[in-house]
A = this chain, B = another copy of it.
């Protein structure tokens, strides 16, 4: 499992053998069964996860109505930065939609990762930049795009998730009721 993570890091910055061994010690394997929570509402997010398998869903519970912000799948980092960075209670919830295998690192161990690796800070900055842009694009899309466009973007961004995620969650991500999603899907198929 650790090799997948090391390869992902090495795509961005070089790491030597001693550093690889350190990374292997800083991360630990963790499993979440389908339905279990990576992060609950009002909890402080104390870990960053690297997804080996499975799917996690990010959502908020708005007086009983769920809004789905996005999904994490294989080789994605999973974390609620708004809670993790300042170590404040989370509004967002992160839940396993399938059985998931992850490598997780604690807040304290991540600080060690940043300072002990030659390129630790650089890797942190690069990942943060990427996540920052993705998060902003996701939020902007959530509030300004039409449901049709959001469905189109979902299909493009997560093609393999279409078959893996219940319709209910895709509708919640698109921002419509499940029956409206069926209409969007039909229109979308016709126009292909």
Could you tell me which A residues sit within 8 Å of B by CB distance? 62, 81-82, 85-86, 91, 114, 119, 121-122, 124-125, 128-133, 135-137, 139-140, 143-144
How far is the CB of A97 from the nearest CB of chain B, in Å?
23
Determine whether the beta carbon of B91 is less than 8 Å from that of A133.
no
Closest residue of B by beta carbon distance from A91: B140
Contacts of A137 in B (CB 8 A): 82
Separation of A131 and B135 alpha carbons in the complex (Å): 13
Contacts of A130 in B (CB 8 A): 85
Q: Which of A62, A85, A143 has the most CB of B within 10 A?
A: A85
**CB contact between A122 and one of B86, B114, B131, B133 (< 8 Å): that residue:** B114
Contacts of A129 in B (CB 8 A): 81, 85, 128
Contacts of A114 in B (CB 8 A): 122, 125
Contact (A135, B136) CB under 8 Å given A121-B125, A122-B114, A125-B124: yes
Separation of A137 and B91 alpha carbons in the complex (Å): 11
Separation of A60 and B115 alpha carbons in the complex (Å): 38
